[in-house]
Structures are given as structure tokens and as C-alpha cells.
Structure 1
């Protein structure tokens, strides 16, 4: 099955040897997003809630470029440098997602690119 590279200027450009997303059939694999502002490629300024929102906005932009949206997310992985922020992820996530919620993992990590405190990746299944 052919693979299609998904790109958009509405999300941060890849800062390494990867694509923003790869579409294989009706499945889309979104690369990890950190709280980078697409226009400046700088980390968003503000507290953890603002960072989490920026990550969801980045994921939503890539999902849209793939022909879907956050409602199509089947699996979400959340990486946090401090799992104490997990309740805040749940709170913000409830504004971006509705039932049925995607399957999800929350993973505590020692560090993330650009000293981000949060990163998320996702798998979409398009109808």
C-alpha cells in the first residue's frame, strides 16, 4: 500500500528526519508535536495549559491536512516530563475530544526536544 506524506504550514515544520504525518490507506500516523508556534518555530510562551493547548492545536492542524480531525484519533500518546501535569492534560483534552475518546497512554519521560514539557503523537483512522 502506498504511503503519502502529509504536510501543512499550520503546524510546526519537521525539525529532523521525519514527516509531520504519513498516511497509509485510511490510517494516518502523526509525528510527535511539542508546543512550537508554527509561524516562529519557537516554543509558545506561557504556562503548562497554554503548552498543552498548543500541542493539541498542532495535532489538529496536521490531522486536518490529512483529511480528518481530532475526532478521528484512535490512539493518543502523551509524553510529560512531570506526570503531575496529567490532570491538566485531562482537563484540556475534554475540550478538544468528545466520546468516544481515543485510546491513550501517558508516559513520564526525563526530557523532550527543545526542553518541552509535553509532547503528543497520534494515530488517526479516517472514514
Structure 2
């Protein structure tokens, strides 16, 4: 699988995401929305946005690795938050957690503020797509 990061000079320089990623080869893996639930369905880190973000990335990693991939195979994520201002207030800590899972790689990303999640106590949810390659 080959990936090409697309950040055209006609757009503002991205920080913490990429505008686009062109992929050739590999197979698509669609990632269902993951929340901060553990294997028993309990909410991890109640009231802690950064702690929940870390659990969400753990859950995404479990799906990607079960499909034979790695976090850097994720090419697109949509982040849904209950409080955009809280998300922005924690960008430095969230960035540190992001780098612990992705390194310096950033998928194409969108952020949405929504009014409620299916389960009470959830502060964010992330869904997306990965392209799993067959590298020899």
C-alpha cells in the first residue's frame, strides 16, 4: 500500500491533521464509532476527556490490529465531541496521547460537536477508515 499526503498550498497549513491522503493498493477497513468503553462495556475515565480519548484510541487500535494493520493505516477519522471548547482547551494533552498511538502521522480528520451520545458519560467518539496493505 502506498500513501501520499495531500496538503495543497492553496489551503491553510494543517496542524494536527492532513487535508487529504491518496491511497493505492490495500483493502478498506471501515471503523465503527468507538467510545471509551472497556471490554465489559463500562465507561473508562468518567468525566476525563483526555482519558477517554486514550481509551478510544486503544479501541481503534484493537480493531485495526485485529485486521492485520497498524494505527498509521488509518487514513480518515471523524471525531465527535460533546464540548468543542473542552476539546480545544485540552489540545496539548490530546496531542500527546495522539502521538503515543500514531507517532508524527495524522489522518485526514474532521471534528464535530454533537448534543448527545448513545451512552451516558461518553465525552467523545471516533470513527473512520483504514487501508490495510499487504507489505512483504
Normalising to structure 1: TM-score of the pair?
0.73
Q: Secondary structure at the match of 2:60?
A: helix
Match of 2:72 in 1: 71
Computing the radius of gyration over CA atoms, which structure comes out larger, 1 or 2?
2
1:110 and 2:111 matched: no
Which of residues 113, 124, 132 in structure 2 aligns to 1:126? Answer: 132
Match of 1:34 in 2: 35
**TM superposition shift of 1:95:** 2.0
Structure-2 separation of matches of 1:78 and 1:122: 9
Unmatched runs of 5 consecutive residues or more in structure 2: 1-25
1:52-90, CA deviations, whole angstroms, 9 ceiling, x for partnerless residues?
Answer: 100000000011111112110000110000012141433
Across the aligned residues of Structure 1 and Structure 2, the Cα RMSD in angstroms comes to 1.6
Unmatched runs of 5 consecutive residues or more in structure 1: 1-24
Aligned runs of 1:58-97 on 2, under 5 Å? Answer: 58-84=59-85, 85-86=87-88, 87=91, 88-97=93-102
With a CA cutoff of 8 Å and minimum separation of 6, indicate the structure with the bigger relative contact order: 2
1:7-66, CA deviations, whole angstroms, 9 ceiling, x for partnerless residues?
Answer: xxxxxxxxxxxxxxxxxx70000100000011x211113422111100000000011111
Match of 1:45 in 2: 45
Structure-1 separation of matches of 2:97 and 2:81: 14
